[in-house]
Structure 1
Amino acid sequence: MRASAVCLGFILDAVFGDPHWLWHPICAIGSLIAKAERIVRRLFPKTAKGEHAAGVLLWCVVCFLSFAVPFVILWISGMVHPALQYVLEVLFCYQIFARRSLRDESLKVYARLAEGDLDGARLAVSYIVGRDTAALTETGVVKAAVETVAENASDGVIAPMLFLLIGGAPLGFFYKAVNTLDSMVGYKNEKYLNLGRFSARMDDLFNWIPARLSAFCMILGARLVGFDGKNALRIWKRDRRRHASPNSAQTESACAGALHIQLAGDASYFGKVYQKPTIGDFDRAVEAEDIDRANRLMTVASVIALLLLLVAAFIMELLIY
């Protein structure tokens, strides 16, 4: 039943995405993080140790509530009727997936570039990346969009898929809390260096397996959509560690190799330029169409991951029962 709920959620996301009029539970997690941050900062001294302790408490509270609330909702609905519980499980799975919204938002960048509207493309890409975008060149805009599609193939699709199949919607929301905490407080700046350190490390831990699974599925799927799977494997082997995060370069390197482009390099965050190594070879200049190509690669990798995980879940069921 759980596997079918995950499949239906994946299909609903592919069909409908995230309509702007529909309230999204991830917004509630974001609001919870913002409010909890203000509270824990008042509870602990403004020292390195105090802020680190506050960050640990913040992570525990947010992740516990993100798991407990859907767990209780599903438990109560199951007491009312199993069909109601199943429908809610499907709805929760649907809202946890982000493949369609990532595709739609990144293709808005592609559309602006196709129209020659660089300022519009900078604005569109600013909604899906954390770096400064106001001064990006067209090449910089394309690279930013491709990188976020590649990275979020894991964070927004395949990682949630894995946790949903293991523990249903409650564990799926637990993972989304881990991921959202990192995106909101996991920065290495003065404000969050200590408070967000624990959240950043836990995000690295929870994404360790999904990131590598996602890269593997990208390499497998590259040839299916007309890209270079052999080169994807070669660049992944060489460049998968070229990032401060142990996970981000996993999918970025596979994507760069499959498309024969070079990604990463220096980027500006909050007005400060950070030097980063490049990923992939400069076989050709990036172009706007690479955003669409990255989305096709993400989609086929997601389907492959779903099939592999369903087979693994079926085998586990056989072994257990």
Structure 2
Amino acid sequence: MMEWATILMICAAYLLDLIIGDPRWIPHPVISMGHSIKRLEKRIRSHVLQPGHLKKAGILLPVIIVGGSLLITWALLRGLYMIHPWLATGAEVILIATTIATKGLKDAGMEVYNHLNRGDLPAARKALGMIVGRDTAHLDEPEVVRGTVETVAENIVDAIVSPLFYALIGGAPLAMAYRAVNTLDSMVGYKNDKYINLGWASARLDDIANFIPARITALLLVVSSWIMRLDYKKSYRTIRHDARLHPSPNSGFPESAVAGALGIRLGGENAYNGVVSFRAYMGEYSRPMDKGDIQSTVRLMLAASLLFLLLSILTIWSIGGTLWG
């Protein structure tokens, strides 16, 4: 019965996020994580200067931030449970919802689409610049579309499937621990001079945490493309051929799945602070990208997330039937 309670909490959290997202007037745990990461980084750097020692100290970031997030969430829920079980259940639903960003990801993608649909390319560039690290000020419309599709596809893992996956295993404490892992990676997991030593452990932990969810997401996107009557066969072939070409061990899986399903080619040249870098192509070039590809990617994202919930229900039902049968 505990497994079914977890499923119900996860479904409720997913719907809560889908309906209201992350209202700005409600304090978000990720903000607290960010402040804690900055404070801890500052303290480490004030005491550790040598690169070798800084690399060892980098292990402290995930140990303290991830471990602290898990323990604080567990202690909070434990205390609320002692007051009343329903209070703890409600809090757990809300906490899990804060680790998901289905509505936020959908809204971010559709904001770019809506600007393009109105013919306002400068506003679309600006909206894209809010969700990517690349330079967007001079992108043409197909490149704005590419950036949006890549970002939405990649974040299906980070923003939806991974937190749901860990919530399914360990409820809000493990989901919050995952969100801490992801926040650390977004803040210090860079291979530049500043973070190559301090951030290596955080970046590696993020790769490990997303390894299984990324591959589950890719398969869910293939099924979603079949449901949506897109090219599911090409989606699967593109995953097999191109997913591992991505510099990230995980991001290539959802991106290649979407590229194959839509019959477009992702990847290419991106500029970061004026420095141009090349990312391996995913998918075959068959046509220029257009704004409709953003809509299709958002729909694939929603379909894949709903399929994950259905898969979770079927898994729990199967396990429950085995245990009780």
What is the aligned counterpart of 2:105 among 102, 106, 117?
A: 102
Report the 3-state secondary structure (helix = DSSP H, G, I; strand = E; otherwise coil) of the residue aligned with 1:83.
helix
Deviations 1:76-135 (A, max 9, x none): 000000010001011111111111110001111111111222221111111211222223
1:76 aligns with 2:79: yes
Q: Which amino acid aligns with 2:91?
A: L
Q: How far apart, in 1, do the equivalents of 2:143 and 2:163 lie?
A: 29
1:43 aligns with 2:47: yes
Report the 3-state secondary structure (helix = DSSP H, G, I; strand = E; otherwise coil) of the residue aligned with 1:276.
strand
1:139 aligns with 2:142: yes
**Is residue 17–residue 98 contact of structure 2 (8 Å, CA) maintained in 1?**
yes
Report the 3-state secondary structure (helix = DSSP H, G, I; strand = E; otherwise coil) of the residue aligned with 1:274.
strand
Q: Which amino acid aligns with 1:90?
A: V
Deviations 1:248-305 (A, max 9, x none): 1000000000000011112122332222211111111111111111000011011111
1:24 equivalent in structure 2 = 28
2:203 equivalent in structure 1 = 200
Report the 3-state secondary structure (helix = DSSP H, G, I; strand = E; otherwise coil) of the residue aligned with 1:266.
strand
TM-superposed CA distance for 1:319, in Å, is 5.0
2:18 equivalent in structure 1 = 14
Report the 3-state secondary structure (helix = DSSP H, G, I; strand = E; otherwise coil) of the residue aligned with 1:107.
helix
Q: How far apart, in 1, do the equivalents of 2:165 and 2:221 lie?
A: 16
The gaps in structure 1 that reach 5 residues or longer are: none
Q: How far apart, in 1, do the equivalents of 2:69 and 2:316 lie?
A: 24
After superposition, residues 50-89 of structure 1 pair within 5 angstroms as: 50-89=53-92
Q: How far apart, in 1, do the equivalents of 2:135 and 2:284 lie?
A: 24
Identical residues among aligned pairs (%): 40
1:5 aligns with 2:9: yes
* Superposition CA RMSD, Å: 1.4
Q: How far apart, in 1, do the equivalents of 2:27 and 2:258 lie?
A: 32
What is the aligned counterpart of 1:288 among 286, 291, 309?
A: 291
Q: How far apart, in 2, do the equivalents of 1:96 and 1:306 lie?
A: 15
Q: How far apart, in 1, do the equivalents of 2:77 and 2:161 lie?
A: 23
**Is residue 55–residue 198 contact of structure 2 (8 Å, CA) maintained in 1?**
yes
1:265 aligns with 2:268: yes
1:90 aligns with 2:131: no
**Is residue 134–residue 271 contact of structure 2 (8 Å, CA) maintained in 1?**
yes
1:178 aligns with 2:146: no
1:214 aligns with 2:223: no
What is the number of equivalent residue pairs in this alignment? 320
Deviations 1:6-51 (A, max 9, x none): 010011111112222222111111121111111111222x222122
1:278 equivalent in structure 2 = 281
Report the 3-state secondary structure (helix = DSSP H, G, I; strand = E; otherwise coil) of the residue aligned with 1:131.
coil
TM-score by length of structure 2 reads 0.95
After superposition, residues 212-251 of structure 1 pair within 5 angstroms as: 212-251=215-254
The gaps in structure 2 that reach 5 residues or longer are: none
**Is residue 56–residue 198 contact of structure 1 (8 Å, CA) maintained in 2?**
yes
Q: How far apart, in 1, do the equivalents of 2:50 and 2:138 lie?
A: 35
2:37 equivalent in structure 1 = 33
Q: Which amino acid aligns with 1:86?
A: T
After superposition, residues 133-172 of structure 1 pair within 5 angstroms as: 133-172=136-175
Report the 3-state secondary structure (helix = DSSP H, G, I; strand = E; otherwise coil) of the residue aligned with 1:277.
strand
Q: How far apart, in 2, do the equivalents of 1:159 and 1:257 lie?
A: 22
